[in-house]
Structure 1
């Protein structure tokens, strides 16, 4: 039996939420295997996610600029071979570009993620759905390393102890982060209803609300914030690293099934997430998050999409959220703050 690898080269480029989901797995992997070193190859933008993790080296590769196209990916593979003395490869992405890279990395043990496409299709098809919780993406990542002969147990998924300078009990205001947007419309709570959520939360003078989003989404959030003294817009005002630092200070986050759910989870922030066409059973729920904090309703059409990139065939875009009221969301946030 061959020895377990000492240095694993791991590949994962996108999307942001999926990359963020590698972080707790890699932390567990390194903690349970003190002789192991990992080099993660990813986009430069993702670097802040992996800072200060012992024995984890971040290798940034801009595949949209410096290593663009097939020729660029081949150059990247050759550069990785020259720069890093790895003895195994973990493909945590399994897309065309990682297939090209790994084919030019030379003869090293390789393990590739099993994305479970067949069972996900069974769960999201319009008729005769096989409704059951599927293996989590965290476990799918862990399985890649297990295939390489490196054991890792991620069965205990808990939010890490938060190390904050100020505790909520020593403050007069609770910090509530709200990230109302998602990449796809089918995963977004209707804006008019989300504004009602903001209004109901802002009516409590002991709440301070922080609205997260992209620079392009900031104008909408500015309009919402203009009506309330205790609502601040974060979107477009910080670097990614700065936004993460601010998110880590929230007492609760409200998100869609989006990257922000996973980013907040990295900092042990309780997350209330709103679900429509997608479903936690597909394996993308936040690390250590309480299942009760997933706000959703049971509709026979759900889930209708793995990634939320397709409208519900029955209700259209965001239609699977039709029965979720602002009061349901506010009640869940309030319950967390009361605890």
Structure 2
């Protein structure tokens, strides 16, 4: 059987599809697994051993369709489910299963604050698309594979951080999912352990501002490393403090302890840190930090560039002391 999985973006969403790949490959005899994504996210998947062939979405979708038609797929597993994937599925003309985004339920929650979403992680909902093939969740959690030539060497980080550090992910796709700069300044001052700031090139300037507060304690890695190198920084961290973003899910793939900070989005959307099946007596190695009881939250299933209400209480009222205490507890436990 030849199967095409489709998920165009983004980093975290693609990482959350990795159990589908692994379980399909291990549980369906002889399956040949292909994956279609955007070229900007190829690095997330290029070292994944469960993918037989990686396809990249081209600017002209007809070029992509022509390439895919040559493969002769038996099935398409559509984990993105939008107009472009509908066009691809129609053109390929084979059997398909599509992920239910539950957009109506999300609209009800963000607009009317009526929660009809299932109490189920998105990973388990992704896996439902292949359950008809007899595929079951193996409980192993998420995967992330780093190419051997994109790992972090000891000399790549300061000597002051080589015995252990907190990874602080300062970025996120939308401003309403990020702590404001003044709050991040307060947080890095409170943390009494070496800190490596993580994020992309867009976070570099803010990272420099934060690192200038204490250049010995705080190292700004934002924009200095590739995505896979940043993933290796996550892997080597003692704990991770992160917004609702891609590096949080990469941290969960490495089974790192996570302090997960939420602003305008909520864990009820089903995208909190996922570790798979925990051993008997083991507690989930993550903590959610959020402001409960706000009538305006969640205001969006994705995010905005500024608070629609203007007060941004979902992040301004986050308890930084709670984050500090949780970090101390996690570090002590390890």
Q: TM-score range by the shorter chain?
A: 0.7 to 0.9
Alpha carbons 1:278, 1:305 under 8 Å: kept: yes
Q: What secondary structure sits across from 1:297 in the alignment?
A: coil
Distance 1:159 1:136, change over 3 A: closer
Q: How does 1:97-112 map to 2 (within 5 A)?
A: 97-105=84-92, 107-112=93-98
1:230 CA displacement = 2.1
Residue 196 of structure 1 is matched in structure 2 by 186
Distance 1:238 1:60, change over 3 A: farther
C-alpha separation in 1, matches of 2:311 and 2:131: 39
Residue 30 of structure 1 is matched in structure 2 by 25
C-alpha separation in 1, matches of 2:33 and 2:312: 40
Alpha carbons 1:277, 1:311 under 8 Å: kept: no
Q: What secondary structure sits across from 1:56 in the alignment?
A: coil
Residue 77 of structure 1 is matched in structure 2 by 65
C-alpha separation in 1, matches of 2:208 and 2:221: 10
C-alpha separation in 1, matches of 2:19 and 2:331: 25
Tell me whether 281-290 or 329-338 shows the greater mean CA deviation.
281-290
1:41 CA displacement = 0.9
Tell me whether 247-256 or 41-50 shows the greater mean CA deviation.
41-50
C-alpha separation in 2, matches of 1:224 and 1:96: 41
1:221 CA displacement = 0.8
Aligned length: 312
Answering whether residue 211 of structure 2 is matched by residue 217 of structure 1, we say no
Answering whether residue 37 of structure 2 is matched by residue 47 of structure 1, we say no
Q: How does 1:106-255 map to 2 (within 5 A)?
A: 107-127=93-113, 129-130=114-115, 134-147=119-132, 149-153=133-137, 156=139, 173-201=163-191, 204=192, 207-228=193-214, 229-255=216-242
Match among 1, 9, 34 for residue 14 of structure 1: 9
C-alpha separation in 1, matches of 2:23 and 2:269: 22
Residue 259 of structure 2 is matched in structure 1 by 272
For structure 2, which runs of at least 5 residues remain unmatched after alignment?
144-150, 155-160, 277-283
For structure 1, which runs of at least 5 residues remain unmatched after alignment?
1-5
Tell me whether 8-17 or 115-124 shows the greater mean CA deviation.
115-124
Q: What secondary structure sits across from 2:236 in the alignment?
A: coil
Distance 1:198 1:116, change over 3 A: same
C-alpha separation in 1, matches of 2:235 and 2:29: 27
1:291 CA displacement = 7.8
Q: What secondary structure sits across from 1:278 in the alignment?
A: coil
Alpha carbons 1:189, 1:318 under 8 Å: kept: no
Alpha carbons 1:178, 1:210 under 8 Å: kept: yes
Q: What secondary structure sits across from 1:305 in the alignment?
A: coil
Q: What secondary structure sits across from 2:195 in the alignment?
A: strand
Alpha carbons 2:242, 2:260 under 8 Å: kept: yes
Alpha carbons 1:23, 1:49 under 8 Å: kept: no
Q: What secondary structure sits across from 1:115 in the alignment?
A: coil
Alpha carbons 1:273, 1:293 under 8 Å: kept: yes
What is the root-mean-square deviation in Å for CA atoms of aligned residues?
2.9
C-alpha separation in 2, matches of 1:100 and 1:308: 27
C-alpha separation in 2, matches of 1:12 and 1:175: 33
C-alpha separation in 2, matches of 1:208 and 1:309: 31
C-alpha separation in 2, matches of 1:135 and 1:21: 13
1:312 CA displacement = 5.9
